[in-house]
Amino acid sequence: MNARTLPLLATVAIFLIAYAVCYAQFPAMLSTRVIGNLLTDNAFLGIAAVGMTFVILSGGIDLSIGSVIAFSGVFIAVLLRDTGLHPLPVFAMLLVVTTLFGAAMGATIHWLEMPPFIVTLAGMFLARGMAYVLSIDSVPITHEFYDTLQGLYYLMPGKGRLTFIGGLMLLVFLAGILLAHRTRFGTNVYALGGGAQTARLMGVPVGRTTVQIYALSGFLAGLSGIVFSIYTSAGYSLATVGVELDAIAAVVIGGTLLTGGSGFVAGTLIGVMIMGLIQTYIIFDGTLSSWWTKIVIGILLFGFIVLQKALVWLTGRNGRALGAAR
């Protein structure tokens, strides 16, 4: 067994144990209805977290996604309100905008040699600011196409509903898994996270890959914005503040190394589900307060970061022996 898969196994184990605990206390939690809600409520986070997984795997970080999601919602709502356009062309325009936005950040990171943290911080301010400029107020979306999308669902056995957006998230995860593990782009992302210098020596097109990674994150943040607008039927520039932090947490709890190079897209799905499960548990319990979510997530983060550090230390002993021999 690869040491790198250990965090993923830990994630799966935590999820199963947590679910078992929930089930022991509230048997109602083991129903397709709860699972359906879990998927629907976390759809936008999950989609954005897929993009974040690629960014973090490459050794970067993207702080802009929460703002981009909010911008997307406002963009869609304002365009639907002020023009007679059908949502589909609006979606297409939006995805082009957010993808280019991400690509521009990637290009800045690569060619200006600046830390992703600060570049995407500027992106975060910029996207949020653009959302404000479009509209400060919450803009409701009323379009029959939206009603159609919201009404779409697949009735699972046990009367649980797999909604359109929940299903879309699963599809995005599937696509993300294929992209990460079955394409040259995916391998290049891991290569960058393993060491940009070595990757360059081995022939990985570092600049192009960096731009593609942030473009992908921008695209998925846009898609997540679309999903969020379907979920809330509105666009609001103050929405989804801090979603980037939730996404980062989901990625790390999903077993991905925050310094890059190691992790799985599938783990992120479980990470998102763990976070959703904590919230669901708190709702079921009724007496616990919502802030426990953050504390538990913080503790999980700590556990995973220390676990990763220990693994890096253990596997790095080869490397240290090597360094000592110099």
Partner 1 sequence: MNGATAFLRRIAPQLVTLTVLLLLVALVFPGFFEISIANGRLYGSPIDILNRGAPVALLAIGMTLVIATKGIDLSVGAVMAICGAVAAAAIDQGLGLVPALALALGVGLACGLWNGLLVAMLGIQPIVATLMLMVAGRGIAQLITEGTILTFTHEGLIFIGAGAFLAIPMPVLIWIATGLLVAFIVRRTALGMLIEAIGVNPRASTLAGINTRVLLIAVYMTSGLCAALAGVIAAADIKGADANNAGLWLELDAILAVVIGGTSLLGGRFSIIASLIGAMIIQTVNTGILLSGFPPEFNLIIKAAIILVILVLQSPAVRTAFVFLRREKPSAQAKAETVAQ
Partner 2 sequence: MSESQPRLRATAVTKTFPGTVALDRVDFTLQAGEVHALLGENGAGKSTLIKCLTGAYRRDSGDIVLDGSVIDPRDTLEAQGHGIGTVYQEVNLLPNLTVAENLFLGHQPTRFGMISGRAMKARARAVLAQYALDIDAGRNLEVYSVAVQQVVAIARAVMLSGKVLILDEPTASLDAHEVRMLFDVVRSLKERGLGIVFISHFLDQVYEISDRITVLRNGQLVGSEATADLDRVRLVNMMLGRELEQETRESGRTDRPEGAPAIRFRDFGRTGRIAPFDLDIHKGEVVGVAGLLGSGRTETAEVLFGVAPHDSGRAEADGKALTLHSPRSAVANGFGFCPEDRKSDGIIGDLSVRENIVLALQARRGWTRPLPAREQAAMAEDFIRRLDIRTPDAEKPVGQLSGGNQQKVLLARWLATNPRFLILDEPTRGIDVGAHAEIIRLIEDLCAEGMSLLVISSELDELVAYSHRVIVVRDRRHVAELVGAEITTDNMVTAIASDERETAA
How far from 90 is each of 74, 78, 127, 214, 308, CA to CA, in Å?
Answer: 12, 10, 18, 22, 42
Residues ≥6 apart with Cβ < 8 Å to 146: 87, 229, 230, 233
Q: What burial class does residue 17 get, using C-beta atoms within 10 Å of its C-beta: 0-12 exposed, 13-18 middle, 19+ buried?
A: exposed
Question: Does the protein bind partner 2 through residue 112 (CB under 8 A)?
Answer: no
H/E stretch holding 12: helix 6-25
Calpha distance 150→143 (Å, rounded)? 11
CB of 319 to partner 2, least distance (A): 8
Q: With contact defined as beta carbons under 8 Å apart, do 165 and 231 qualify?
A: yes
Q: Which does 226 bind (CB under 5 to 8 A by kind): partner 1, partner 2, none?
A: none
* φ/ψ of residue 170, rounded to 5: -60, -40
Would you say 57 or 239 has its CB closer to partner 2? 57
Which residues in 165-194 contact partner 2 (CB under 8 A)? 178, 181-184, 187-188, 190-191, 193-194
Spatial distance between the Cα atoms of 96 and 273, rounded to a whole number of angstroms: 29
- Contact pattern from residue 3 through residue 42 relative to partner 2, giving x for each residue in contact according to CB under 8 A and a dash for the rest: xx--------------------------------------
Is residue 304 near partner 2 by the rule CB under 8 A?
no
Contact between 310 and partner 2 (CB under 8 A)? no
Mark residues 258-297: x for contact with partner 1 by CB under 8 A, - for none. xx-----------------------------xxxxxxxxx
The rounded Cα 25 to chain-centroid distance in angstroms is 30
Residue 93 binding: pick among partner 2, partner 1, none (C-beta 5-8 Å cut-off by kind): none
State the burial class of residue 298 (Cβ atoms within 10 Å of its Cβ: 0-12, 13-18, 19+).
Answer: exposed
d(CA 36, CA 302): 29
Of the candidate spans 9-17, 137-145, 160-168, 240-248, the one that interacts with partner 1 by CB under 8 A turns out to be 240-248
**Between residues 283 and 322, which has the closer beta carbon with respect to partner 2?**
322
Q: Report the interface residues with partner 2, using CB under 8 A.
A: 2-4, 178, 181-184, 187-188, 190-191, 193-195, 198-199, 201-204, 261-262, 315, 318-319, 321-322, 324-326
Q: Report the interface residues with partner 1, using CB under 8 A.
A: 61, 108, 111-115, 117-119, 121-126, 128-130, 132-133, 136, 241, 245, 248-249, 258-259, 289-299, 301-302, 305-306, 309
